[in-house]
Chains A and B, each alone.
Chain A
């Protein structure tokens, strides 16, 4: 079974600085998708970024980018120019393209604190 591990329960960063959140996963599949979701105090789960495993280019969405290392099964999220609104719980998630009908496997989450 696929597993997703986020080894950092908590992280903190100064406003305007850069922070990287780690995620590793275990799978025997070659085609899959990876996602980062953000859950602010409002508890709404918001998609931040996605990465297709067949793409070598790392995904980027404004200040958010990923470092996808397929061989190492690593998928880290980099937040540049951190803002107070980035403070949230961040979840890494995995989805294979088999018969799971879109089921996501989530990591345990990382709480990010942004200091002014």
Chain B
């Protein structure tokens, strides 16, 4: 199994630009999660999907953030416009709906907004 795939691994952009992060979950997993990790706030859950449907987006910091899951094998997290405080590592994770329930994480995307 290829594991969760994220792209790009690193992204450097200027304030005000649009940023799109991509995720391919593990085949057969029907739940997908987007996290953000910073030194100040630790690991935060932004949004999660079940069977491609957004279940809870209460962790999305503001309207500049949006996420989609058009099919079972692809999801995007978009930031428009980006700001320096969005600089963080963004993780995507997936899991099955049944036991044993653990989430498998992608390698993360390190985003730097200058």
Residues of A at the B interface (CB closer than 8 Å) are 33, 35, 37, 42-47, 50, 52, 91, 95, 101-104, 106, 108-109
Measured CB to CB, the nearest residue on chain B to A91 is: B43
Known A95-B101, A103-B56: A108·B45 in contact at CB below 8 Å: no
Most buried by A among B31, B55, B100, B102: B102
Known A50-B100, A102-B97, A102-B103: A43·B43 in contact at CB below 8 Å: no
Contact with A along B66-103 (1 / 0, CB 8 A): 00000000000000000000000101010111011111
Size class of B's contact patch? 20 to 34
Q: Is B42 a contact partner of A101 (Cβ separation < 8 A)? A: no
Q: Is B108 a contact partner of A104 (Cβ separation < 8 A)? A: no
Contact with A along B7-34 (1 / 0, CB 8 A): 0000000000000000000000001010
User: Top 7 closest A-B pairs, CB basis?
Assistant: A45-B105, A101-B50, A102-B31, A102-B95, A106-B43, A33-B101, A47-B102
Q: Is A103 a contact partner of B105 (Cβ separation < 8 A)? A: no
Question: When chains A and B are docked, how far (Å) is the Cα of A86 from the Cα of B94?
Answer: 24
Q: Is A101 a contact partner of B48 (Cβ separation < 8 A)? A: yes
Question: When chains A and B are docked, how far (Å) is the Cα of A50 from the Cα of B102?
Answer: 8
Known A44-B107, A45-B91: A103·B45 in contact at CB below 8 Å: yes
